[in-house]
Every structure is written in structure tokens, then in C-alpha cells.
Amino acid sequence: MIRIFDITLKDLAQFLRETKTYMFLLIMPIIFTLLFGYASGAFSKETSDSRLPVGYLNEDDRWMDQSLHDLLADSETMRLVEYSSASLSDFELLVADGELAAAIIVPPGYGQAMLKNKTVHLTVIADTGSTAWTTIQAEILTAVSRVDGAIRTAAIMGDMLGDRTPFRYSFDQTLEAWQDPPIKIIETTSAVVPVVEDGGMSLAHTSPGMMLQFAIAGLLTSAQVIVVERKSRTLQRLLTTSARRIHILLGHYLAIFTLIFSQFIILISFGQFALKVDYMREPFATLLVAFSAALCISALGLLIGIFAKSEEQAVTFSIVPMFVFAGLGGAWVPLEVTGETFQIIGHLTPVAWAMDGFKNVIVRGFGLDSVAIPSAALAGYAVLFFVLAVWRLSASEEK
């Protein structure tokens, strides 16, 4: 046991003397997390409006036109861009250039014609071949039908009750009733997970993604240490002592694990307190995922160090898995937005399981039970990589 710790301390001393260790394990993940955060607007105080911009020009002066305007302005899919004056050709040019998704013109006499139950049409300019047109058309038809229905209802009430129900009052009450329909769909969010802006959700993905990506990249330092040990025949001399092969491997493995797990603790703390990513909502679940991921990545580093025959190969064997595992595993783009086939392929990598574990806690609001499967998968990868490292070392010695 003492020999294991001696090898561990020797490796840690070598790791900490290398500037690449700090570069890949701490500096780079922080820099890239901040860069991705700024690119996604995570640090911007401004709120973006994703609704379709629709030009609006009212050439009428009836009070019910304002009701139509208010209904359109309250749309969740359209954002009215109001104009005090503009020609038909101006709107056509704006729509053609893509500055507006559509334009609505309320013609003179529109309100009066609706009051007299005459056929009247809004002037709408849009690219009817675009997908946005279907949405805009549905919103306009809904608003117009509500105003028309309110006018008809108010007229019927006036015929039935006379002056006891003023037309304007009946009209307003009918429109107000649309705001509280007998059946409505209400979207609720779990009280366990606080509602965050899109930028915060971006950091909740980017922070663990960059942490995992550069943990793999940081393996090149540990792999190079093992390669140098073999090339200088230090490993062979160790094997002539009472130190067994498993002691040597466990010593290297423990050193890499200590380095990676320490990196996770530091970056999780940075994410929690500096970036406000809620890792500590379920601290035991987060630490279990971090512990399992460190076991897995450390075993991968050990395997790379045993497989590589030169320091150049160690670099290649570290950088290539970083890009492959990070790209396929969802460290760059959430696997949720990809197809089912890509998600299946992605979960052949340990990064996908680690991302699932972290996001189950900080994004989906799940508890300790939710990280059991991801942690078990990571532990399975750790066993696989470690067994392969033992096999490779034994095979290389026999040669």
C-alpha cells in the first residue's frame, strides 16, 4: 500500500510541475465556458424577443380598431412593429428584405364596416410560401374573429335588452371573456427547479460540457509521464523490486484520479458561485457523478499512457478522444436537440452519461436516484479501461 502512495505522490509532483496541467484542467475550461456563455447571451441583461416581427399601420380611427390592435399586440408569436405612416410598396420591400415577417394595414372605414356587418378585409402583406405565414395567418384570423364576435354579441344584447346593456360595455365584456375561457392549458414548472433565462440554461450545459472535455484533454500530461517512465526503463526497474504490476498501475491511476477529481471540485465550485449554475441543489448527486466521471476519465488516461509508445502518440491519443467523445457525447450541442440515432451513438461514449448525470441535477431538477444509471455506466467504463490497461501492460512485457 505504501508503494502505491509513493508512486501516486511522485506522479502528482510531476503533474503539478507541468504548466500544461493547469492549462488544460483549469484555465481552458473556464475560458471556453465564459466564451460560450457570452456567445449565447448568458451574461447579457437584455431579454430577446423571439416573436415574428409584423408591421402594423392603422389608417382608421374607430375605437374597435384599438381592440384589434391590443389582441394582436398580446400575441405570443407575433411582435407588432408600429408605423405612423408607410406605403404599400414600403411594406412590400420590408417583407421582401426579411426585416418584417408580414405587414398588416387597417384600411379607412374598417371599423365602421364591421359595425354595419359589412364584408371588409385587412390588407396583409406576407410571403405566403413561408412557414411563418401559417402562424401569422392563424393569429390574425383569431384576433379578427374575436372582434367580429364581440361586435355581433354586443349587437344581439342591445336588441334584446336595449339601453340596459350599452353596446361598448357588452363589447368589452365579450372580449374580456376570451381572456378567461372555460377550458385553457396552463404550463407549470416544477417548484424544485427555479425558472432561469435561456442564457442560464446555456451555462448549465456549457459548464459541465467544457469541464468534461478538458478533463480528457488534460490526460496528455499524465499519459506523457507514464510514457517517459517506460522509455527511461523506470517501469522495468520498478518491476524488479517488490512492487507488483498492479501496485504500479494503481499508483498511477490514483494520481490521475486525484488530479481529475480535484479539477471537478474546483470547476464545480466556480460554476456554482461565479456562474450561478446550481450544482449544489443536490450536492451528493453532483459529487457522485463527478466521482464516477473522474474514475472513468482516470482509467482512460492510464490506458492512453500504457498504449502510447511516444510522447507524440500520448498527445494524439489524448486530443482525439477529447474531440470524439465531446462531440458525440453532447458536450458541445445538447443531445436532446439531435435525432434518436445520434443520441444512441452518443451514449456509446462516457461523456454522454456524465452529461446526463450533471444535467439531471442542474437542469431537470431530479434527485440522487436520477444519477444512479449514469454513474453506474461511468463506473463500467472505468472498469473496462482499467482492465484494458492491465492487459496491454502485460502483453507489452511479454514481448
Give yes or no: residues 111 and 236 share one domain.
no
Would the pTM count as exceeding 0.85?
Answer: no
Q: Is 175 exposed, middle or buried (0-12, 13-18, 19+ CB in 10 A)?
A: buried
Q: Which has the higher per-residue pLDDT, 274 or 129?
A: 274
Q: Output the nine-digit C-alpha cell for 128.
A: 405566403
Distance CA 80, CA 38 (A): 28
pLDDT digit string, tens, across residues 99-109: 999 999 998 88
pLDDT tens string 146-166: 888 888 887 887 778 777 778
Residue 191 belongs to some domain of the structure: no
Residue 68, pLDDT > 60, answer: yes
Beta pairing, strands 52-58 & 78-82: parallel
Q: Is the pLDDT of residue 177 over 80?
A: no
Distance separating alpha carbons of residues 298 and 320, to the nearest angstrom: 16
342 and 393 share one domain: yes
Q: Are residues 279 and 335 located together in one domain of the fold? A: yes
Same domain as 126, residue 6: no
Residues with Cβ < 8 Å from 317, sequence gap 6 or more? 223, 304, 307, 308
CATH number where 115 lies: 3.40.190
Identity of the residue numbered 380 = G
Domain span at residue 331? 2-43+198-398
Does residue 184 fall inside a structural domain? no
Split into its structural domains, the chain has a count of: 2
* Long-range contacts formed by 369-377: CB under 8 A, 24+ apart: 370/285, 371/285, 371/288, 371/289, 374/289, 374/292, 375/288, 375/289, 375/291, 375/292, 376/292, 377/350, 377/353
- The predicted-structure confidence for 327-377, as pLDDT tens digits, reads as follows 999 999 999 888 889 999 999 999 999 999 999 999 888 999 999 999 999
Assess whether 154 and 56 both reside in one domain. yes
In terms of domains, do 207 and 283 share one? yes
Q: Which residues, including other chains, have CB under 8 Å from residue 229's CB and lie 6 or more apart?
A: 235
- Identify whether residues 233 and 333 lie together within a single domain: yes
Q: Is 185 among the domain residues?
A: no
212 and 320, same domain (yes or no): yes
Q: What is the pLDDT of residue 201?
A: 63
Residues 259, 359, single domain; the answer is yes
